Structure 1
């Protein structure tokens, strides 16, 4: 049984929402930027902008970047973020230690558990999340949404963290790849929320460079003829 939603939060859901209402929330959030948000951080690298807003008592961060499609093709982003999303997160995001598919639901939703290893002295965190994806070949656009799931964690789980996030990536008419991601999270335990929020803006800026470097290292280099090399795709699976 799917439910209707008009917002995203951090309360674990026993049933995921309808895809239509989920994508409508993503659309509304993106359309509200920047007029309803405060600029938190920025960088000239990839025209990075990070915005901040409190929505329904939860602190949200949204990041926008632009990438030259001749250097970093849309297909690279699709393979890294849309295809095998959590499997790739384990590879390019060092705090994510593992993920496991637990359940599949109607509408294309999949339920996963993930294990995060935070910097010492903090303990590991375990998360359960619903994941939904949509891709439009006609528009060269894809969307990925993750929401907290009320499903069992592994027996060795320690502290349950929660997060909601989305990615919207599209190839623009001027041959740019626009990558928008939004997130709110609470890793719980003895890690104060204000400490988490204070660091997120800067982390979201530095994460872009780390991710692009991972693309370069795993997905090859665009050749002189403008065609992407796929010699490293097999290793990146």
Structure 2
């Protein structure tokens, strides 16, 4: 656990730590966002964006509070996480499974189809979606880069993130997400490939992650409201 960090270095399967240890590290990081990270812009739907550097990498975070039911977030984000993202994130084109054994982590190759002239970007990830205590309404979704080969004709990207969703005492739901940007600099093999300088893409990331919130809420309302 001491050597495990949330960063863009690809991790082989045998470097993953047990779910309980991953949750402990993720909780320590995510609970600092509102208190110690630099506050950025505010967006519709009550989304507040933050940023800071961790281990030399720029991280972006957002926090939002919602009146929608807890069950929508549990079913839509924690359960079948990647399958559901493919339905409400427009650029997420497809995904395939990576065998993660019995580690508690799930392996996925996600493929993002970007506008010309950017290439298809393939991001192999280890994903842990977990509700630590069944009687407590909170869950984490943790993603780290997977050190596995990618398909031919794809550009390899890297991505790390932590999502934390919990129910507040008043019944509302708070959704926090922190992530490292998937950059697009053809000179840096740790990025997503393409021709957009990192500094330019970094400027676009706060609004991009903020838009994921209404995209999810619109999708969840259509999927779960009738239930």
Are 2:157 and 1:152 aligned? no
1:129 alignment counterpart: 125
1:4–1:21 contact (8 Å) kept in structure 2: no
2:48–2:64 contact (8 Å) kept in structure 1: yes
1:90 alignment counterpart: 86
| Cα displacement string for residues 96-144 of structure 1 (whole angstroms, at most 9, x for unaligned residues) | 0111112123330111111101122211101100011211331111111
Give the Cα separation in 1 of the matches to 2:106 and 2:4: 20
Q: What displacement does 1:148 show?
A: 0.2
Per the alignment, do residues 157 and 18 of structure 1 end up closer, same or farther by CA in structure 2, a change over 3 Å counting?
A: farther
Out of 204, 207, 210, the position equivalent to 1:202 is 207
1:5–1:21 contact (8 Å) kept in structure 2: no
1:4–1:18 contact (8 Å) kept in structure 2: no
Structure 1 residue ranges (4+ consecutive) displaced by more than 6 angstroms after TM superposition = none
Question: What's the Cα RMSD here?
Answer: 1.6
Q: Map 1:107-122; keep pairs closer than 5 Å.
A: 107-122=103-118
Give the Cα separation in 1 of the matches to 2:153 and 2:161: 22
1:64 alignment counterpart: 63
Question: When the two structures are superposed, what TM-score results if normalisation uses the length of structure 1?
Answer: 0.85
Q: What displacement does 1:4 show?
A: 4.7
Say how many residue pairs are matched: 215
| Cα displacement string for residues 177-199 of structure 1 (whole angstroms, at most 9, x for unaligned residues) | 11111111332332321122110
Q: Which secondary structure state, in structure 1, belongs to the residue aligned with residue 8 of structure 2?
A: coil
Give the Cα separation in 1 of the matches to 2:4 and 2:12: 17
Question: When the two structures are superposed, what TM-score results if normalisation uses the length of structure 2?
Answer: 0.88
Q: Map 1:188-199; keep pairs closer than 5 Å.
A: 188-199=193-204
Give the Cα separation in 1 of the matches to 2:88 and 2:3: 31
- Gaps in structure 1 of 5+ consecutive residues: 221-228, 231-237
Q: Which secondary structure state, in structure 2, belongs to the residue aligned with residue 104 of structure 1?
A: coil
Q: Which secondary structure state, in structure 2, belongs to the residue aligned with residue 61 of structure 1?
A: strand
- Gaps in structure 2 of 5+ consecutive residues: 183-191
1:234 alignment counterpart: none
